[in-house]
Amino acid sequence: MRLIVSGGGTGGHIYPALALIEEVKKQEPDSEILYIGSTRGLEKDIVPQRGIPFKELKIQGFKRSLSLDNFKTVGLFLRSVHDSKKIIKQFKPDIVIGTGGYVSGAVVYAAHRMHIKTMIHEQNSLVGLTNRFLSRYVDRIGIAFHAAESQFPVNKVKFVGNPRAQQAANVVSNFSWSEYGLKDDVPTVLIFGGSQGALKINQSAVDAMDEFSKRKYQVVFITGQNRYIDVKQALSSHQLGPNIVVKPYIANMPEVLPKVSLIVGRAGATSLAEITAVGIPAILIPSPYVTADHQTKNAKSLVDSDAALMIKEDDLNAKTLVDSVDQLMHNDEKRAWMANNSKKIGVPDAATRLYQTMKNVINND
């Protein structure tokens, strides 16, 4: 297979693309793959480190308010479409797939104009602007949440899940909480606001530590690398119990997740794909700072399936955090029920499903 993948800006678009590439190489080791990203997104650093051929385009997203900068955005988009056509003509792909982010808009649209087979993958419950735009042009649309189906032309949609889930589901973990000075036979809560941390989650967790220190269950609090010093300073006046561990980050998160009894965190598409692939009960605190509040829509998909509880950030404080964690950590049957429901939502073969859907598009099936 000759494949062009485009997706960028955030890890939520990049990591599913990388999971798909991994599956393509597994299924067809002789495949030629090219990744097209932007000069400004995280992909320009992440993708080349994986040894994947990479081309970059200078492009930016639209401002949602009236702005003269949007005229520049249109110009950059048209230029990127032109540059994409040159790259596509040289590479000669069998198919071009976009996983989101404004750069994929130019690349996939260019491929459509050149009569190349095209596909997009939407990771969220609420469809992004780029994928809304591309949906009228592409041959097939892969979705990770059933809630996205009604936002696309129904005849093009295929539920495949999030490819990142397959990576999480296939991890063989030898991890032990003893590495953190904790016990493997004690239920453990993981509080995690993302790789950069989340200020309100961190503040609430700090204020809750005196109560958490009295509990029989264990609490692992991940602050985010950039917020660790501030959190440690804030905790200096607290006497933490031996059941509490505070870390800036976890480098081997996929290996740790199978040992987690309950996770507290954001509701990004990649996080939810990993959580449901493993089957972990969750308390979700959607970020209110993302486009169109899409994390709340993501979280609602799990809440409606009784796989998670949700706390709106405006309602988050030490008391609501402790009460919600206690509600689940003091009820083993409820956690087991939610874990089972979570696993039903998960799609542990999502990357394979997406690969097979691409093959069907190439073969006109």
Annotated binding-site positions for UDP-N-acetyl-alpha-D-glucosamine: 10-12, 124, 195, 250, 295
What is d(CA 340, CA 357) in angstroms, rounded to the nearest whole number?
A: 27
- Going by C-alpha positions, the residue among 218, 123, 214, 133 that lies closest to residue 176 is 218
Residue whose structure tokens are 């295929």: 158
Element housing 240 (H / E): none
Specify whether the CB–CB gap between 58 and 39 falls below 8 A: yes
What is d(CA 95, CA 39) in angstroms, rounded to the nearest whole number?
A: 23
Bridge partners (DSSP) of residue 158 are 142
Bridge partners (DSSP) of residue 118 are 96
Q: What angle separates helix 102-113 from helix 69-91, to the nearest 10 degrees? A: 50
Distance of CA 78 to the CA centre of its chain: 29
Identify the DSSP state of 271.
Answer: H
* Feature table: binding site: 10-12, 124, 195, 250, 295
How would you list the strands of the sheet with 54-57, edge to edge?
Answer: 54-57, 32-38, 2-6, 95-98, 117-122, 140-143, 157-159
